[in-house]
């Protein structure tokens, strides 16, 4: 990539969620315009964009409008039809590239990519029939496994726990997917993620790994710096770099890891976009993940990922509004030193829906952890043991 897109250019964003919203905020601060192609009615987050396109993703008019107004394109949500990604890339630069996005949006392709490049991941089997499922179930370890749809899964969607005794015929019929991936269930010691930024010249940097905790398959808390052995963190950085280079990646990439109880560091998933576990970078790093995305796709120098404060990020789900009759006590939360509140402008709060996050920065990690614990109590978020 040789062209540098300076402020005043228009960034085309495929998708209309909170990641696009935060990318838009960073873009506007830097003097860029944003064209957001939502693919349907705007649920709130995309409303900050300069240009809003609500046509479905199979609309020729929508495609023409998007291409005519955008100088470069990126995604804030990986589940964009590959055919659309390829058509966009034919006309304007698309970063990351269509192949990288397509690999990350499809669990079977993702596992094939990891295995083909010698990148460690969980033992797995590709399933397209009840007979194949029965054979794979018989090979599961005693800990069991997770049956996952091959496509379009995130935040625990499209997943079913299984074990050796699971009835293959009934399960496959009820799973209702043409293809699936069966993974061994990992006895987890920890979960972590690494954000890596790579530009068109091959320059790259990584952020400090985040230590992650999930509740009901949705990210609950990220702690940075991660409280794990430095050798594990360094290995995670190296693997994340290997993934980015193997994908010939441009932009910001999140690589999520499992650390197993027997010491294996395994890639669980990749996300070809800014990531929930990187939201702390807005308040706690010299350059946020969203600014890095802009810098990389526009051909600008990559910024410093340096963490200037220990930090904890707490997700805010719609449950907070439901449990507080629609009126969370923000005044008490914001009275906690080092607190930064980020709300995504979504029109409706529902249980399990990501509505915002709070970042806590402090001189020490222990103080940041204590601050998020206090906020959980104020907002009625169940305790998390870490």
Q: What would the DSSP string read from start to end of 258-275?
A: EEETTS-EEEEEEESS--
Helix (H, G, I), strand (E, B) or coil at 297: helix
List b or e across 106-120, with b for residues whose CB sees 16 or more CB atoms inside 10 angstroms: bbbebbebbeeeebe
Asked, for residue 385, whether it belongs to a domain, the answer is no
Same domain, 140 and 18: no
Q: Which residue has the tokens 């008490």?
A: 332
Please state at what angle helix 168-175 crosses helix 130-138, rounded to 10 degrees.
Answer: 130
Q: Which contiguous run of DSSP H or E holds residue 350?
A: none
- Longest CA–CA span in the chain (Å) reads 60
306-359, pLDDT tens digit by residue? 999 999 999 999 999 999 999 999 999 999 999 999 999 999 999 999 999 999
Looking up residue 172, the CATH number of its domain turns out to be 3.30.1490.20
Whether 219 and 315 have beta carbons less than 8 Å apart is answered as yes
- For the record, the structure tokens of 12 come out as 């085309």
Same domain, 180 and 197: no
Same domain, 150 and 207: no
Asked, for residue 111, whether it belongs to a domain, the answer is no
Same domain, 318 and 342: yes
Q: Which residue has the tokens 């749809």?
A: 149
Same domain, 196 and 343: yes
**HEC assignment per residue over 170-225:** HHHHHHCCCCEEEEECCCEEEEEEEEEEECCCCCEEECCCEEEEEECCEEEEEEEC
Same domain, 84 and 42: yes
Same domain, 352 and 207: yes
Domain count, the chain: 3
Residue 152: pLDDT over 80:
no
Domain ends where: 165, 184, 203?
Answer: 184
Asked, for residue 232, whether it belongs to a domain, the answer is yes
Domain ends where: 184, 199, 215?
Answer: 184
39-96, pLDDT tens digit by residue? 999 889 999 999 999 999 999 999 999 999 999 999 999 999 999 999 999 999 999 9
Looking up residue 340, the CATH number of its domain turns out to be 3.30.470.20
Residue 31: pLDDT over 80:
yes
Asked, for residue 133, whether it belongs to a domain, the answer is yes
Asked, for residue 110, whether it belongs to a domain, the answer is no
* Alpha carbon distances (Å) from 228 to 146, 171, 209, 211, 301: 26, 38, 9, 8, 31
Asked, for residue 38, whether it belongs to a domain, the answer is yes
Same domain, 232 and 281: yes
Helix (H, G, I), strand (E, B) or coil at 159: strand
263-299, pLDDT tens digit by residue? 999 999 999 999 999 999 999 999 999 999 999 999 9
**pLDDT computed for residue 1 by the predictor:** 47
253-269, pLDDT tens digit by residue? 999 999 999 999 999 99
Domain of residue 142: give its range.
123-184
Residue 176: pLDDT over 90:
no
Instruction: Give the C-alpha separation, 34 to 7, whole Å.
Output: 11
Same domain, 373 and 304: yes
Instruction: Give the C-alpha separation, 266 to 269, whole Å.
Output: 9
Same domain, 309 and 209: yes
Nearest Cα to 284, choosing from 221, 190, 217, 208?
208
Global pTM reads 0.94
Asked, for residue 4, whether it belongs to a domain, the answer is no
Same domain, 172 and 304: no
Asked, for residue 304, whether it belongs to a domain, the answer is yes
Give residues with Cβ within 8 angstroms of 206, minimum separation 6. Answer: 194, 195, 196, 197, 237, 240, 241, 305
Helix (H, G, I), strand (E, B) or coil at 143: coil
Domain ends where: 184, 210, 234?
Answer: 184
Question: Which stretch of 151-165, 219-233, 258-272 has the lowest confidence by average pLDDT?
Answer: 151-165
Same domain, 340 and 197: yes
- CA 186 centroid distance within chain: 21
């Amino acid at each position: 990539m040789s062209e540098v897109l300076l402020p005043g250019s228009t960034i085309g964003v495929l998708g209309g969620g909170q990641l696009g919203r935060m990318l838009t905020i960073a873009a506007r601060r830097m003097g860029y315009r944003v064209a957001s192609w939502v693919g349907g009615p705007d649920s709130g987050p995309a409303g900050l964009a300069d240009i809003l396109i609500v046509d479905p993703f199979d609309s020729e008019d929508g495609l023409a409008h998007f291409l005519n107004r955008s100088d470069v394109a990126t995604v804030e949500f990986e589940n964009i039809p590959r055919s659309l990604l390829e058509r966009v890339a034919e006309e304007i630069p698309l970063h990351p590239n269509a192949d990288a996005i397509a690999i990350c949006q499809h669990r079977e392709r993702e596992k094939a990519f990891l295995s083909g490049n010698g990148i460690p991941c969980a033992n797995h089997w590709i399933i397209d029939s009840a007979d194949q499922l029965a054979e794979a179930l018989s090979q599961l370890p005693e800990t069991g496994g997770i049956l996952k749809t091959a496509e379009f899964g995130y935040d625990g969607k499209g997943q079913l726990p299984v074990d050796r005794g699971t009835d293959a015929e009934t399960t496959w019929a009820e799973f209702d997917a043409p293809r699936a991936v069966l993974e061994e269930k990992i006895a987890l010691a920890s979960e972590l993620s690494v954000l890596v930024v790579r530009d068109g010249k091959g320059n790259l940097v990584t952020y400090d790994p985040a230590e992650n905790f999930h509740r009901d398959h949705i990210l609950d808390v990220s702690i940075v710096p991660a409280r794990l052995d430095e050798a594990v963190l360094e290995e995670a950085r190296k693997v994340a770099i290997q993934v980015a280079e193997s994908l010939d990646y441009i932009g910001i990439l999140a690589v999520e890891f499992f650390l197993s109880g027997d010491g294996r560091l395994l890639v669980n998933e990749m996300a070809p976009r800014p990531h929930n576990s990187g939201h702390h970078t807005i308040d706690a790093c010299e350059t946020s993940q969203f600014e890095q995305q802009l810098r990389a796709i526009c051909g600008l120098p990559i910024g410093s990922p340096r963490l200037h404060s220990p930090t904890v990020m707490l997700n805010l789900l719609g449950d907070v509004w439901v449990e507080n009759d629609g009126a969370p006590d923000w005044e008490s939360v914001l009275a906690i030193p080092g607190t930064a509140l980020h709300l995504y402008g979504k029109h409706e709060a529902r249980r399990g829906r990501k509505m915002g996050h709070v970042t806590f920065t402090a001189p020490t990690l222990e103080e940041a952890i204590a601050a998020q614990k206090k906020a959980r109590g104020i907002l009625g978020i169940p305790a998390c043991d870490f």
